[in-house]
């Protein structure tokens, strides 16, 4: 069972620890840490207030259920679940098993003036699902029970799922029939298709399969004013696309109960490769050429020198080998997916282009190792926290002409955000999704916990404000893949 604090370990598992090498590196770059005390489950359960909801057969008002649905995975959520200072418990949790039950719950909520929060996997990192309990009772509707493959149209390559289906549930059910969705956000293990649509998710291999807006073909939505059916049609010129009203709506339009998706046959082959380039600018030039000349990769990721060095160090620690490249090099990870013939042709074109840019081939299998562990990064947050460090991310998307300057400006704003406290912030970036017009920039930052949870929250607020302001000043979007939620609403 998923841990009550959120992202792993599962209940009963021993928490992971960071390696001694990573601990020593962070001490050198950020400073000596001081961990903060952790609230226990029993401590927090004592703070859950009495529910204000009128009884209903589908509504659970148990204290632990309400705690488990009180917060997502944003940095303030993480602090709240560790400190015990939650302050936003829903009054109840419902787990519908059908569209009819969702409709029944909305009728109940409307009649009793109850606010409703749709809940998928609880993986929001920007405050999407936190109840505002000041004025009205709040009901969280957990869609996890509605996770089945409802209909498969093999001729049209369409599949309809219950909106509560997670990434693994979708792939397991599709692959039995020889298909895949191919949508792999970082939160893939826990996030749901309804959440992907509502927050405009982007998968790691969207270069091949498409972002969720390309995969989203149709849906059924229940709202306070009635149902909405969006038929799955290949294309239309009949006025505005109503799907766009649902995409990115973050739960404000209603509750998605069914989602129809465009699927693909399972690929015959998939290869993940790594090459190294002598500088960030050299890496940018190669990435831009690969995507603008339409080399048919399924993924392309470019890590800056600091992230590259950390990736190499972790690879050596885990696998005992490392590529022979000097400091300052950047790591490009790319993938090819498809038929044997397609993969051979695409790899040949990619390797020729890499050679033209003097790229160095990795011989230690870092590409396949990256693919095997690509969903593990979120599991580092708690071990780092237990050691006295905080980690969070920011992301944007911007045109190629502004990538280098914008990356530097965002990193500098984040790194300098705590100078008034004499604190160092470690910031490093990678390009995670590339387009012919530009790319996303994904920046990770690490800093020391404060002497209290309140001081730590204030440090995060200063960093977040500095980074977000830099993104806006650069002309980037405030979010490429995380959404708006509460954390980004002031920067739209």
Tell me: the pLDDT tens digits for 123-145? 999 999 998 877 899 999 999 99
Q: How confident is the model at residue 5 (pLDDT cuts 50, 70, 90)?
A: confident
* Mean of all residue pLDDT scores within the chain: 94
**Mean predicted confidence (pLDDT) in 56-64:** 98
Q: Where are the domains of the chain?
A: 50-142, 149-265, 269-372, 377-491
DSSP class of 438? E
The set of residues, in sequence order, having a beta carbon less than 8 Å from that of 449 and lying 6+ positions away, is: 33, 34, 35, 36, 385, 388, 389, 390, 456
Contact 458, 450 (CB under 8 A): yes
Class of the CATH-defined domain 50-142:
alpha beta
CATH of 377-491, one of 3.30.300.330, 3.40.50.720, 3.20.20.10, 3.40.50.1000: 3.30.300.330
CATH of 149-265, one of 3.90.1150.10, 3.50.30.10, 3.40.50.800, 3.30.465.10: 3.30.465.10
Q: What fold does the segment set 269-372 form as a domain?
A: Alpha-Beta Plaits (3.30.70)
**Mean predicted confidence (pLDDT) in 184-197:** 96
- Rounded CA-CA distance 146/99 in Å is 9
Tell me: the pLDDT tens digits for 253-273? 999 999 999 999 999 999 999
Tokens (6 digits) for 231? 């038929």
Q: 65-69, 72-76, 322-326: lowest mean pLDDT where?
A: 322-326
Say if residue 8's pLDDT is above 70.
no
Beta strands in 362-481 (DSSP E): 389-399, 426-431, 438-448
Q: How confident is the model at residue 251 (pLDDT cuts 50, 70, 90)?
A: very high
Tell me what pLDDT residue 333 has: 97
**Mean predicted confidence (pLDDT) in 85-111:** 98
Contact 114, 135 (CB under 8 A): no
Tell me: the pLDDT tens digits for 205-225? 999 999 999 999 999 999 999
Contact 467, 457 (CB under 8 A): no
Beta strands in 362-417 (DSSP E): 389-399
Contact 336, 260 (CB under 8 A): no
Tell me what pLDDT residue 1 has: 61
- Strand (E) or helix (H) holding 179: strand 179-180
Say if residue 322's pLDDT is above 90.
no
Contacts 24+ apart (CB under 8 A), 417-422: 417/462, 417/463, 417/465, 417/466, 417/467, 418/447, 418/459, 418/462, 418/463, 421/459
The set of residues, in sequence order, having a beta carbon less than 8 Å from that of 307 and lying 6+ positions away, is: 331, 428, 429, 430, 444
Of 310, 297, 319, the closest CA to residue 377 belongs to 310
Contact 367, 333 (CB under 8 A): yes
- Rounded CA-CA distance 241/391 in Å is 39
Tell me what pLDDT residue 176 has: 98
**Mean predicted confidence (pLDDT) in 38-58:** 97
Tell me what pLDDT residue 12 has: 63
CA 283, distance to chain mean position in Å, is 24
59-60 β-sheet, strand order: 59-60, 92-94, 138-142, 115-119
The model's pTM is 0.95
Q: How confident is the model at residue 73 (pLDDT cuts 50, 70, 90)?
A: very high
- Rounded CA-CA distance 361/15 in Å is 36
Percent of the chain's residues with pLDDT above 70: 97
């Amino acid at each position: 069972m998923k841990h009550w604090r959120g992202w792993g370990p599962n209940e009963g598992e021993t928490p992971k620890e960071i390696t001694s090498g990573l601990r020593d590196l962070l001490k050198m770059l950020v400073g000596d840490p001081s961990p903060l005390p952790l609230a226990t489950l029993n401590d927090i359960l004592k703070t859950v207030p009495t529910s204000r909801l009128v009884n209903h057969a589908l509504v659970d008002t148990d204290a632990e259920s309400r705690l488990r649905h009180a917060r997502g995975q944003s940095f303030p959520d993480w602090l709240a679940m560790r400190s015990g200072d939650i302050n936003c418990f829903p009054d109840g949790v419902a787990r519908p098993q059908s569209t009819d039950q969702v409709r029944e719950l909305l009728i109940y909520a409307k009649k009793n003036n109850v606010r409703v929060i749709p809940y998928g996997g609880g993986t929001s990192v920007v405050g999407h699902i936190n109840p505002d309990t000041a004025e009205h009772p709040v009901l969280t509707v957990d869609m996890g029970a509605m996770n089945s493959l409802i209909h498969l149209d093999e001729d049209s390559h369409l599949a309809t799922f219950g909106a509560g289906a997670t990434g693994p549930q979708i792939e397991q059910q599709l692959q039995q029939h020889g298909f895949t969705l191919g949508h792999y956000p970082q939160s893939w293990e826990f996030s749901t298709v309804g959440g992907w649509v509502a927050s405009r998710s982007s998968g790691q291999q969207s270069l091949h399969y498409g972002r969720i807006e390309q995969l989203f073909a149709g849906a059924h939505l229940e709202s306070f004013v009635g149902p909405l059916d969006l038929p799955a049609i290949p294309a239309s010129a009949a006025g505005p696309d109503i799907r766009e009203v649902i995409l990115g709506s973050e739960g404000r339009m209603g509750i998605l109960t069914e989602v129809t998706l465009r699927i693909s046959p399972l690929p015959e082959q998939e290869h993940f490769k790594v090459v190294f380039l002598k500088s960030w600018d050299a890496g940018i030039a190669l990435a831009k050429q690969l995507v603008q000349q339409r080399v048919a990769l399924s993924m392309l990721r470019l890590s800056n020198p600091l992230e590259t060095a950390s990736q190499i160090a972790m690879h050596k620690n885990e696998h005992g080998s490392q590529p022979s490249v000097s400091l300052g090099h950047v790591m490009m990870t790319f993938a090819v997916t498809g038929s044997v013939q397609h993969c051979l042709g695409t790899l040949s074109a990619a390797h020729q282009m890499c050679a033209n840019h003097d790229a160095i081939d990795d011989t230690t299998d870092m590409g396949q190792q990256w693919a095997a562990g690509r969903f593990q990064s979120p599991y580092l947050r708690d071990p780092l926290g237990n050691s006295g460090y905080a980690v969070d991310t920011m992301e944007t998307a911007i045109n190629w002409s502004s990538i280098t300057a914008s990356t530097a400006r965002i990193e500098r704003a984040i790194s300098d955000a705590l100078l008034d406290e004499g604190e160092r912030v470690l910031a490093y970036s990678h390009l995670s999704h590339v387009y012919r017009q530009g790319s996303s920039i994904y920046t990770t930052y690490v800093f020391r916990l404060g002497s209290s949870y309140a001081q730590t929250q204030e440090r995060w607020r200063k960093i977040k404000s500095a980074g977000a302001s830099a993104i806006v000043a650069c002309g980037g979007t405030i979010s490429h893949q995380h959404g708006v939620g509460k954390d980004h609403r002031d920067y739209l």
